[in-house]
Amino acid sequence: MPNAVFLGTGHFVPDCVVTNEELAELMDTSDEWIQQRTGIQQRRFVDFDKEPMGASDLGTRAARNALDAAGMSTDHVDCIIYATLSPDKAFPGDGVLVQAKLDIPAGVPAFDIRNQCSGFLYGLQMANAFIRQGVYNNVLLIGSEVHSSGLEFADRGREVSVIFGDGGAAAVLGASDDNERGVLGVTLHADGRFAEVLETSCPSSALNPRVTKEMLDTGAQYPRMQGKLVFKNAVQRMPEAVSKVLAEHDVEPKDIKLLIPHQANLRISEMVQRRLGLRDDQVFNNIQKYGNTTAASIPLALDEAVKEGRLQKGDLLVLTAFGAGFTWGAALVRW
């Protein structure tokens, strides 16, 4: 049975840097509050006046960079898996939009998955299963978000709008006979009883009409979150998932070269690190620069870690995520 190995990673973020001070001009917040509570110093937003872009555009450029890093042409991609909570359109999904923009041959399947901050890990589990079973050889896995056009930059939305940023990132996974390397295991979980704790409720097929002026007036088109409850669950579930995947493969935390936690909040990452007993050099964070880019956050951090030389062949890499749904999980990879 072949193993699924990472052949290349890439990312793309818009040029426009938005600082905490700039957000403080739009709503009652401050650089101090945002940094103290989240560690975020700045994020990237699409500049809709200069160059409007949807999540599929960021995903396309990220995918192009990942394919270049893998030295692979689009002709060799035989499956696309695309994770986002901010697709360009209600339908069709961004996966087919990326396929057309990259000119990936007609007939190649494109999956769209909706697992928010855990999207990349859910996609990784699918890619791994497809590759190990011989269904597909080269899977293009993308996570991409444009949050900035869907946030409420006013006091009512401040708890949510200060944490998100725009970005896209991708990885190419391919079949390898080297049974020492690749994705060793992925553990995924969900608990839909918490679905309303973090959600955007409108437009909704459960409503007719799906959106009204009254709904827009209440801000139902914007994400709402019970931040403290999300925080509490995130710092419990991520260490749990990491411990599970490590135990399944007889790996001790001290043997991990790098942990990349989903970049939701630096305080969450620090607490996950403490609970797992990891040193600072074993954990990679870049939320300070990008905020929470949801499905893009893990591959964006992974690509930066790779480019900084933080991973060498044979190193043990752990990825973990927690987000809306609730959904969460962890993956163990031999680089």
Which of the residues are catalytic?
117, 262, 292
Min. distance of Cβ 327 from ligand ACO in angstroms? 8
Q: Is 66 in the site for ligand ACO (CB under 6 A)?
A: no
Q: Is 294 in the site for ligand ACO (CB under 6 A)?
A: yes
Q: Is 138 in the site for ligand ACO (CB under 6 A)?
A: no
Q: Is 83 in the site for ligand ACO (CB under 6 A)?
A: no
Pick the binder of ligand ACO from 2, 37, 47, 221 (CB under 6 A). 37
Q: Is 142 in the site for ligand ACO (CB under 6 A)?
A: no
Pick the binder of ligand ACO from 20, 29, 138, 293 (CB under 6 A). 29
Q: Is 199 in the site for ligand ACO (CB under 6 A)?
A: no
Q: Is 117 in the site for ligand ACO (CB under 6 A)?
A: yes
Pick the binder of ligand ACO from 83, 220, 324, 332 (CB under 6 A). 324
Of 4-12, 75-83, 100-108, 227-235: span binding ligand ACO (CB under 6 A): 227-235
Pick the binder of ligand ACO from 84, 187, 265, 286 (CB under 6 A). 265
Of 32-40, 105-113, 246-254, 277-285: span binding ligand ACO (CB under 6 A): 32-40
Min. distance of Cβ 105 from ligand ACO in angstroms? 33
Min. distance of Cβ 192 from ligand ACO in angstroms? 14
Rank residues 212 and 285 by Cβ distance to ligand ACO and give the closer one: 285
Pick the binder of ligand ACO from 165, 167, 299, 323 (CB under 6 A). 323
Token pair in block for residue 105 = 């041959």
Pick the binder of ligand ACO from 38, 86, 125, 187 (CB under 6 A). 38
Q: Is 114 in the site for ligand ACO (CB under 6 A)?
A: no
Min. distance of Cβ 115 from ligand ACO in angstroms? 9
Question: What's the chain look like in SS3?
Answer: CCEEEEEEEEEECCCCEEEHHHHHCCCCCCHHHHHHHHCCCEEECCCCCCCCCCHHHHHHHHHHHHHHHHCCCHHHCCEEEEECCCCCCCCCCHHHHHHHHHCCCCCCCEEEECCHHHHHHHHHHHHHHHHHCCCCCEEEEEEEECCHHHCCCCHHHHHHHCCECCEEEEEEEEEECCCCCEEEEEEEEECHHHHHHEECCCCCCCCCCCCCHHHHHHCCCCCEECHHHHHHHHHHHHHHHHHHHHHHCCCCHHHCCEEEECCCCHHHHHHHHHHHCCCHHHECCCHHHHCECHHHHHHHHHHHHHHCCCCCCCCEEEEEEEECCCEEEEEEEEC
Pick the binder of ligand ACO from 31, 159, 240, 270 (CB under 6 A). 159
Token pair in block for residue 36 = 């103290």
CA-to-CA dists, residue 195 to 85, 131, 221, angstroms: 14, 31, 16
Q: Rounded to an integer, what distance in angstroms lies between the CA atom of residue 185 and that of residue 122?
A: 12
Q: Rounded to an integer, what distance in angstroms lies between the CA atom of residue 258 and that of residue 283?
A: 5
Q: Which residues bind ligand ACO (CB under 6 A)?
A: 29, 33, 37-38, 116-117, 158-159, 162-163, 198, 227-228, 230-231, 234, 264-265, 268, 292, 294, 323-324
